Amino acid sequence: MKPTPKTPTPIRPTTQTTEPSIDLQEQIRLRAYQLYEQRGSEHGRDLDDWLQAESEVTQGKFKTVAA
């Protein structure tokens, strides 16, 4: 009786997302809106506000208060 060859178990890649978490996106959105308001609600600089907010939030310069 010959041994039965085993079928190798496929390796599944770990699930990793490159999308920021919803909580992080919400913090960035909130900070970007605050920056927009601080500039007097001037339109046309949304990308600047978002990038600045993203930088502040990811570097820990902006803290949200949990309600």
pLDDT in tens, 1-43: 566 667 666 666 555 555 556 799 999 999 999 999 999 998 9
* pLDDT on residue 19: 58
* pLDDT on residue 64: 57
* pLDDT on residue 28: 94
C-alpha span between 15 and 33 (Å, rounded): 32
Q: Which residue has the higher pLDDT, 4 or 66?
A: 4
* pLDDT on residue 13: 59
Structure tokens at 52: 């600045």
